[in-house]
Amino acid sequence: MTRRNQNKAGRVLAATLGVQFFSGVLYVWSIFKDHLIARYGWGDAEATIPYTVSTIVFALSMFTAGLLLDRAGPRVMISAGVILMGGGLILSGFADSVWLWALTFGLITSAGVGFSYLTAAPTVIQWFPPEKRGAITGLAVAGVAISPVMISPLANFALGHFGLKHGSWILGAVALVIPLTLAQLIANPPADYLPANNQKNEDGRTEPNRNAMTWRQMIRTFDFYKLFAMFAFSSSSGLIIFGHMTRIARLQADWDGGYLLLMLIAVFSAGGRFLGGVISDHIGKTNLLRAVFLLQALNMLVFHLMDTSFTLALGVAVAGLCYGATFSAFPLLTADYYGVRNLGANYGLLFIGWGMGGVLGPQIAGSIFDVTGSYHLAYRLALGLLIVAFLISFSLRKEKIIRRTVSGMEGRGGS
């Protein structure tokens, strides 16, 4: 890799991180929900409908974006995503019913976030060699996780001081202008570009193009459905916390600072994405997922006992760390099993599993709360799903771990 290409790779990575940083608005839904409940008197399950729609649309839009990515290119896809994201938030300021919020926030904004998010990993991963793939992927997807650190207090301030209408306009303007500028710096590498240490295999193809499958070929394999189920089951526990954090804090710890926990979970989710990518380079993605599933299951087992701001912060930190780590492992496993060439569409299709987790998690948890007055049964549901995901992981085929050695690159068997 020449110095010029290294600089370009760095700029693409930095610009992608910047765009992702403004794309975490979905993770602060609980702040919107509290204001909607206070203003319109909606029930918890009713007020969760726009968020449930957003998770489904987010997942489906990623598959759509993956299909369009090769034709339109990352700059166009991210620009379109940013326009939808900011425009949807602005339109939300005019919404006064659950279904209008489901249309503006749940459909338009979420589709925009999905377009931007899907483009990140498949674009950035092409600029770097295989032995850095885990760390770079983790870094690329960490931006959207860390964004609630900024967006959470901004949303809390804007909605609290200016109301839903003008507050949504402010948030929409912020989510539109800056990332749209950064999007113009993002591009795929040249057709003949070859990252450092990206060796050719015995069949003459470079490593990223080896074993490349289309999404139609991918859905004919059993591994796809195993990964899909694991993604859906594991994501539900993290989404329960994200979608209901402010109410959980008020209910369990009698604390109105739940929006601060959204910032905390964002920091640990971002850290989990980066650390998960780095660790997976050494122990493998499957082993990483097994460790994450067990830790998150233990967290859900005792989460109902966390009744102070301190203990709740510990539980939220663990939830964020585990939730974030899966976002490094699943795109990497998709690339390992089905190649990088069609990673956008393939991972976009797999990501529908995350959307199903959005239904299994927040919506069911909201319904459980409306019936029982607590989230205890929701935590038990998450625990059971995590155990199932852990067991499924043992049926995956062994992966090859790529490590950097003194002489260069070599693949060593292991899982």
Give pLDDT tens digits for 229-250. Answer: 999 999 888 888 777 887 888 8
Q: Is the pLDDT of residue 4 over 80?
A: no
Amino acid in the structure at residue 47: A
The structure's pTM equals 0.75
Gap between the Cα atoms of 75 and 69, Å rounded: 9
Gap between the Cα atoms of 290 and 225, Å rounded: 17
Which pLDDT does position 43 carry in this prediction? 82
- Which of 276, 384, 364, 378 minimizes the C-alpha distance to 55? 364
- Which of 349, 342, 277 minimizes the C-alpha distance to 122? 342
What are the domain boundaries of the chain?
A: 3-185+210-396
- Per-residue model confidence as pLDDT tens digits over 388-412: 999 999 998 776 655 544 334 333 3
Q: Which fold has domain 3-185+210-396?
A: Growth Hormone; Chain: A; (1.20.1250)
Residue 88's contacts (CB-CB under 8 Å, 6 or more residues apart) are 104, 105, 107, 108, 109, 110, 111, 112, 172
Which pLDDT does position 399 carry in this prediction? 65
Q: Of all helices (H) and strands (E), which one includes residue 401?
A: strand 400-404
Which pLDDT does position 402 carry in this prediction? 52
Which pLDDT does position 200 carry in this prediction? 45
- The full length of the chain comes to 415
- Per-residue model confidence as pLDDT tens digits over 166-220: 888 988 888 888 889 999 888 888 766 766 554 444 334 444 455 678 899 999 9
Which pLDDT does position 204 carry in this prediction? 41
Q: Write the burial class of residue 190 (CB in 10 Å: 0-12 exposed, 13-18 middle, 19+ buried).
A: exposed
Amino acid in the structure at residue 349: L
Which pLDDT does position 88 carry in this prediction? 93
Which of residues 141 and 284 earns the better pLDDT score? 284
- Per-residue model confidence as pLDDT tens digits over 65-100: 888 887 888 899 999 999 999 999 999 989 888 899
